Structure 1
Amino acid sequence: MPVKEAAADLRLVGITKRFGSLVANDAIDLTIRPGEIHCLLGENGAGKSTLMNVLYGLLQPDEGEILVGETPLKVGNPKQAMAAGIGMVHQHFMLVDVFTVAENIALGREQGPLGILDRGAARSLVSDLAKRYRFDVDPDAVVEDLPVGVQQRVEIIKALANDATYLVFDEPTAVLTPQEIDELMAVMQSLRDEGRAIVFITHKLREVRAIADRITVIRRGAVVGEAEPGATEAELAEMMVGRAVQLTVDKEPAKPGDSRLVVDGLRVLSPGGSVVVDDLSVEVSGGEILCVAGVQGNGQTELAEALLGITPVSGGKITLDGKDITRYNPKQTLDAGIGFVPEDRKHDGFVGTFSVAENLVLNTFDEKPYAKGLSLDLPLIRRHAEEKVKEFDIRTQSISSPVGSLSGGNQQKVVLARELSRPLALLVASQPTRGVDVGAIEFLHERIVAERDRGTAVLIVSTELDEVAALADRIAVMYRGRIVGVVPPDTSREALGLMMAGVPESEALAQTATPNPKDLR
């Protein structure tokens, strides 16, 4: 429903937040205006999420204050923030996995007598919001059973359920497909038109230019300026990073050699017994990058995990350099020369409480040269970490810092540095730049291309069409567990979109025989 009365501006004045010697926010001033989409840009670790966590009461500032109009606002915890009309959609989901959607929405705001949850009212609220904002969400679904993209919708519904005036979207598109991103933008525009204030944190410059009414850029904890919504992507990237950024991948044409990975008739079942990878066959040669594109939930995750041995294979065959690895477990696949960058780095890519140095040898600590009998060569592990931190520009206070304390982009650099620290036959990278800023994306892409040029077979799974077009030597489009077609990287977005919807390759290409030049950028 529209905001009933014109709300006052929400102002952050002189906000400073320190973590030991690290100044995460340095005297930041920010004004959030109802009826406006305010984009907050900056590298990972720039302090954007810290600032919004202060606003939402998850962190307390060391200096500064929050005002509604001219009235000071004390936000000691999220409950007080919600009472003040502030809602937040978190980058890392704040959901209880074993609860249903309706139970998550009602948590902390029970509607029945004596504080007992009124499940009927909760289901009704979810259904009403899902219908109003065109979200396909089942109120009775258990959160842990939902795809990542649907869990993100639940996060958004949770914020909307409190009828917040000031809404913070912290990297909400990081786990969404292009189609879902369009839907989310329509929702944000609708909320803005209702008179709500929207803060939109994103690294995707295309999205900023499409939706922003105002843009504030933060670098190293401080506001470095505002940009016009009409600014070019190159201008925005330079303000974010503090230097000119190459937005296209600089790579020579591929020189593919012999096939290294051969997947023949692969079949994978979900835990419930349904077919998620269906008679899939594909090959990847040494010295080429094959990008697997598709709407999330069409078997790409299970394909990647089957290659590593995480998910059991129920049919078909996987060979690597002529050796049958179909029944290998993860340890055996790693030893066979497979590097793996998982789509969810927090759950599968590292141990957050372990140090940077420990995570960089997570899959080789028990082997020479790091293992000496029953003990570890700690000086060598430290030297290795110092070399990789420098080589991969990992921004950390110390190699002893826990990886969980790093920004998303630096966490991803740790994962990639570890996987590229040994000779590989195959690199499998699933959503390699999800939630990563533009400066880190440039670096990660360069390293992936360099690995291709060493003769490694590279398989990338990505829902980012810009990334697919930039990295791919060939594009394989998946739909409902099958490869719809394999096409060149200059295939139009329109044709790729049709294939992602299940249209056969020949038909999709025929329907888009005269491509728009803009599609090829």
Structure 2
Amino acid sequence: MADLLEMKNIHKTYPNGTKANQGVNLKIREGEIHALVGENGAGKSTLMKILFGLEQPTDGELRYKGQPVTFHNPKDAIAHGIGMVHQHFMLVPSFTVAENIVLGIEKRRGPLSLFTDRKAAVKSVQQLSESYGLRVQAEAKVETISVGQKQRVEILKALYRGARLLILDEPTAVLTPQETDELFVALRQLVTQGYTIIFITHKLREVMEISDRVTVLRAGKTIGTLATKETNKEEISRLMVGRDVLLRVEKKAANPQDVVLAVENLSVADNRGSIAVKQLSFSVRSGEIFGIAGVEGNGQTELVEAITGLRARVGGSVRFLQQELTGLDVLGIRNLGIGHIPEDRQSRGACLTASIQENLILDLYRQKAFNRGGLLHQANLKQKVDELIAHYDIRTKSGDFLAGSLSGGNLQKVVIARELSKDPKLLVASQPTRGVDIGAIEFIHREIIRKRDEGSAVLLISAELSEVMSLSDRIGVMYNGELVAILENNHALTEEEIGFYMLGVKKHEKKAMGS
């Protein structure tokens, strides 16, 4: 196969001196699925932003179809047949599928072409979806369709604009196993029709399953490009991190004790006033990890916010060590010994305009060792912060740097360090490894298990099914705001079995569900 794209000796240095890309080389062959992997901060996102015209390289050359090119903006990239599907969907929820796909390039009708030709849009989208095996409901509103369907809409939106090279950024992050399989079938069909795909992912199993070749970046440099069939997950992870990585979670059997968290008949409304959590009941004991699996948007966010004091309840109760949490604010709940790793580290987990030190000491500065007569004991605080930075491997030169200057993975480590260092009796961990590279995932998993073994109760919520299965001792599955199953996590339990519950195909009777 001929090279469709060559990114040669790409450098990108930001005004603050950060070197995101340092001589990166990438060759993409026409008609292949090429995986791009690397740790957080390795330079993947910057490289793809340069390719899609969102960033300009400091130095280096892009060649597309053998010709040198410069993309000043995404419009230039799209004009050359390059499309990008971002990890966070860029769709208008109140618009139909067809309206989203043709948005900005609609066919017009009527006098002076004043009106959008909706029938033409629906017809075009139906033909497009059928020809590529990406079946969608053209007239359905986006807010009513599944996450897997939204993913298809994003891909069709790029194809409708003439893309022949597709950049997919973490495309399976929120998909069920069944939806991932369906996506892979569609991607393979696209390749047979002459399309080329760059597949960015942290999931090495998917790299091995879907890609033809894989390029590894580390610290802004190209480490190597490998034929997928000639390598394995261990070699790829070693190239990514620079050391051997334990790809499986090692843990001893749980030793659950007393109930720490008891949720009974809990109902919670979402921001629109609709009931998002429906009479949900479960318990979490000290010394165990209770995982909740489910496609995002099925009430998990509202459940976590109700437990941690961020959202009022419509009905039911939440008890922590027999104490009802109703009426307590966030600070009151945290002071009881409840740690919370929020799903959104930027808006809930950290203050980006504060320093790393300030983020780490949010639960420390009131303690006597760090506060004397209302004045902070700076030496003690600095010593503690330096210890946390070292133990949790937060990649920074100083705790005085702004939290917003950190990569996503390092910012997540700041949140993890703060929440775990307080030795919580209950840890509510929501999407704890989202957007985090394989080396950091290994570390975070080990720390969560350590807390369990020290006697903490852990409530784990993750859209990453493999993570739920690796860490959890028991697994609850949420669908449409209900807890449709509580399962013992043993060797007989499979991802496919849980996937059926996640899709609402299977459901346990409430009276048969244990707590």
* TM-score > 0.5 by shorter chain: yes
Aligned to 1:18: 13
Q: 287-296 vs 111-120, which deviates more? A: 111-120
Structure 2: how far apart are the matches of 1:328 and 1:138? 46
Instruction: Tell me the equivalent position of 2:443.
Output: 443
For the residues of structure 2 that align with 1:55 and 1:467, how far apart are their CA atoms? 32
Give me the whole-angstrom Cα distance separating, in 1, the residues matched to 2:428 and 2:250. 21
Q: Match of 1:35, SS?
A: coil
**Pairwise CA RMSD:** 3.2
CA distance in 2, matches of 1:436, 1:31: 25
Q: Which amino acid aligns with 1:476?
A: G
Instruction: Using structure 2 for the length normalisation, give the TM-score.
Output: 0.87
Indicate yes or no: 2:61 matched with 1:62. no
Deviations 1:291-344 (A, max 9, x none): 112333333332222211223222211110110013433332222222112223
Partner of 2:116: 118
* Aligned pairs for 1:109-188 within 5 A: 109=105, 111-112=107-108, 118=116, 120=118, 129=128, 133-134=133-134, 136=136, 141=141, 152-188=151-187
Amino acid at match of 1:218: L
2:4 to 2, 9, 22: 9
Deviates more, 1:417-426 or 1:268-277: 268-277
- Contact persistence 1:475–1:489 (CA under 8 A): no
Aligned residues of 2:5 and 2:66 also touching (Cα < 8 A): no
After TM superposition, give the deviation of residue 503 of structure 1 in Å.
2.3
Residue 65 of structure 1 aligns with an amino acid whose one-letter code is E
1:82 to 2:62 alignment: no
Is the Cα contact below 8 Å between 1:178 and 1:463 reproduced in 2?
A: no
Q: Give 1:213 shift.
A: 0.8
| Counterpart Cα distance in 2 of 1:148 and 1:358 | 37
Other-structure match for 2:37: 41
Paired AA for residue 9 in structure 2: G
How does 1:329-478 map onto structure 2 within 5 Å?
A: 329-362=329-362, 381-478=381-478
The alignment status of 1:193 with 2:192, answered yes or no, reads: yes
SS at match of 2:352: coil
The reply to whether residue 243 of structure 1 matches residue 243 of structure 2 is yes
Q: 1:101 to 1:308 in 2, by over 3 A?
A: farther
Alignment of 1:506-521 (within 5 A): none
Check conservation: 1:355, 1:399, Cα contact below 8 A: yes
One-letter amino acid of the counterpart of residue 361, structure 2: V
Shift of 1:469: 2.2
SS of the aligned residue for 2:205 comes to helix
From the superposition, tell whether residues 175 and 288 of structure 1 become closer, same or farther in structure 2 (CA, over 3 Å).
same
Name the residue aligned to 2:291. 291
Indicate the SS of the match to 1:420: helix
Tell me, in whole angstroms, the C-alpha distance in 2 between the residues paired with 1:136 and 1:400: 49
- Aligned residue in 1 for 2:47: 51
* Cα displacement string for residues 453-501 of structure 1 (whole angstroms, at most 9, x for unaligned residues): 2211001112323212211112222333124233233232143334333
Distance 2:163 2:97 in 1: 19
Partners of 1:85 and 1:354 in 2: CA distance: 41
Provide the C-alpha distance between the structure 2 equivalents of 1:38 and 1:84, rounded to a whole number of angstroms: 19
Q: Partners of 1:152 and 1:401 in 2: how far apart?
A: 37
1: CA distance, partners of 2:284 / 2:114: 56
Hey, what's the Cα distance between the residues in 1 that align with 2:38 and 2:402? Answer: 23
Q: Determine helix, strand or coil for the equivalent of 2:208.
A: helix
Rate the CA distance shift 1:403–1:104 in 2: closer, same or farther, 3 A: farther
Equivalent positions of 1:223-238 (< 5 A) are 223-230=222-229, 231-238=231-238
Contact conserved, 1:7 with 1:165, CA < 8 A, in 2? no
Which 10-residue stretch deviates more, 364-373 or 257-266?
A: 364-373
Q: Is the contact between residue 479 and residue 502 of structure 1 (CA under 8 Å) also seen in structure 2?
A: no
The partner residue of 2:497 within 490, 495, 515 is 495
Task: Show CA shifts across 1:415-468 (max 9, x none).
Answer: 211211213121111222222221111000001011112211001112323212
CA positional deviation for 1:156: 3.1
CA gap 1:498/1:58 in 2 versus in 1, 3 angstroms: closer
Q: Which moved more, 1:129-138 or 1:261-270?
A: 129-138
Deviation string 1:105-135 (CA, Å, 9 cap, x unpaired) is 5555465498978372656655655565535
C-alpha distance 421-136 of structure 1, shift in aligned 2 (>3 A): farther
Deviations 1:18-41 (A, max 9, x none): 234432212122111221101111
1:514 is matched with none
Letter in 1 for 2:506: V
Pairwise CA distance, 1:12: 0.8
Does the C-alpha gap of structure 1 residues 187 and 376 become closer, same or farther in structure 2, counting only changes over 3 Å?
Answer: farther
CA change 1:309–1:370 in 2 (3 A) is: same
TM-score, with length taken from structure 1: 0.86
Query: Over residues 355-382 of structure 1, what are the superposed CA-to-partner deviations in whole Å (9 max), with x where a residue is unaligned?
Result: 3223223466677666667766555554
Q: Does structure 1 conserve the Cα–Cα contact (< 8 Å) formed by 2:484 and 2:507?
A: no
| Deviates further, 457-466 or 194-203 | 457-466
> Kindly tell me: are residues 499 and 443 of structure 1, through their superposed partners in 2, closer, same or farther at Cα, counting changes over 3 Å?
same
Alpha-carbon distance in structure 2 between the residues aligned to 1:162 and 1:50: 23
Q: Which residue of 1 aligns with 2:27?
A: 31
Contact 1:298 1:478 in 2 (8 A): yes
The answer as to whether partners of 1:313 and 1:327 remain within 8 angstroms in 2 is: no
Q: How many residues align?
A: 502
What amino acid is the match of 2:40?
A: N
Task: Say whether the 8 Å CA contact 1:175–1:434 is kept in structure 2.
Answer: no
**Post-superposition offset of 1:228:** 2.9
CA distance in 1 between partners of 2:367 and 2:136 (Å): 48
One-letter amino acid of the structure 2 residue matched with residue 284 of structure 1: V
Aligned with 1:198: secondary structure? strand
Call closer, same or farther: CA 1:327–1:21 in 2, change over 3 Å.
same
